[in-house]
Chains A and B, each alone.
Chain A
Amino acid sequence: MTNENVLEIESLSAGYGRYNVVHDISLHIAKGGAIALLGPNGAGKSTVLRAIMGLIKHREGHIRVDGTDLIKMAPHSIAKGHAALVPEGRRLFAGQSVEDNLRLGGMRFRGDQKKVDELLATFFALFPVIERYRSRPSTSLSGGEQQMVAIGRMMMNDPKLMLLDEPSLGLAPLAIKDMTDALVKLRQQGRSILLVEQRVDIALAVCDRIYVLSDGKIIDERVTASLGNDGRELIDHYLG
């Protein structure tokens, strides 16, 4: 199993203070695969992401990324290429230019200018629109463009596993389309993705499997291909 899966979560419980928000969940992502976590607010989707990144102290179980267990690791060690997160609401560094935001994402390659430039070039090849704005303040971009930069900042880390927390939040339909296309392109490059979303259509377009989370437990797991193209069944069942 370990050789085929980029992420294996085994009986993970995590939460804040003494309370668990996520109870004993297990899931996996095959190398180059993508899964989505769906579920209502408060179900614990973001908590799973925060637990993987080590941003929650209170966590038990196993989180293996490419065979390495992250459960006892500090966030700064996890960020050394194991996993990287696009946080909800983008959270760009407001005072910095687009390029500085991106370069900060490649922090772990500091000293290796060649690698950073290479990653930057990869990103701009994928999002040529953003290259025009590289010296603009990050906050002067539109919401959709800022989301691209946030994804770019995560890509600059060159992680084994990419985590995205509701990237469609607050975006107009056109921007959502661009963002979804970008995620599909990342998959074509062989990237592994864990996506947290409210929008079932985006999950269907990007991922090959979907987990439904409710009250901190996984209540269903589906292969996207079996869901048709609108996921109506899933919505009616759990989310409607």
Chain B
Amino acid sequence: MREAEAFDRRSRRTLLLGSTTLQQCREAVDGWVAAGYGLTVVPRLDLLEGRASVATWVQAICDTLEEMVRNRHAVVAVRSEGDRALDAVLDELARRGVALTVQPCDASPKA
């Protein structure tokens, strides 16, 4: 194995969540992190209500996640109640035909 390949430690596993969920479900998220999941966090887009940049954020996050799925990474979404920012991302992914598993925020990673 070449040296560069030996250092490719990417888990190819990502947990998608909103920043609200990150704050509310810290203990559960710690479990996903310990299991090797990287985090993709949707920021508080409600702070941008009405601004065109909401679409830029949603499209860029969805481009990232769609690229992961196309490259056979595992992507799991967790959400707490009322995490509206995550809904916008999930809606756009559904429109693109990218289906994600969505679990409650206190879910644990599978062994």
Do chains A and B interact in one complex?
no
